[in-house]
Amino acid sequence: AQKVTQAQTEISVVEKEDVTLDCVYETRDTTYYLFWYKQPPSGELVFLIRRNSFDEQNEISGRYSWNFQKSTSSFNFTITASQVVDSAVYFCALSEAVGNTPLVFGKGTRLSVIA
């Protein structure tokens, strides 16, 4: 069965610090998909990224970067030079196989960026 673990429940950083959110997953499938979502205080869920299991290249989007390592079953998310607007709950999620397997979410990490 698939499982996603986000061991960090809450993280607090000072503005402009870098911060890494950890995500460890479990799956028996060789083909799977990993996602990150952001939930700001307003409550909506915002898609950030999808990563395919066969593509191990790391990805950078502005201040955001993702480090995918199959050897350790991790898909960590780093925010560089954090800003107050980054304060949110961040969820990592996993979907197994090609097709329509529902996403399984981790419990989330609440990030507070203090000015």
Partner 1 sequence: NAGVTQTPKFQVLKTGQSMTLQCAQDMNHNSMYWYRQDPGMGLRLIYYSASEGTTDKGEVPNGYNVSRLNKREFSLRLESAAPSQTSVYFCASSEWFLAGATNTGELFFGEGSRLTVL
Site for partner 1, rule CB under 8 A: 6, 9, 31, 33, 35, 37, 43-45, 47, 50, 52, 54, 91, 93, 95, 98-100, 102-108
Least separation in angstroms between CB 106 and partner 1: 6
User: What is the three-state SS of 8-44?
Assistant: CCEEEEECCCCEEECCEEECCCCCEEEEEEEECCCCC
Residue 90 backbone phi and psi in degrees, to 5: -115, 130
Residue (28 or 115) nearer to partner 1, CB: 28
- 92 contacts 106 by C-beta, under 8 angstroms: yes
Residue (32 or 76) nearer to partner 1, CB: 32
- 59 contacts 113 by C-beta, under 8 angstroms: no
Least separation in angstroms between CB 63 and partner 1: 21
Residue (73 or 101) nearer to partner 1, CB: 101
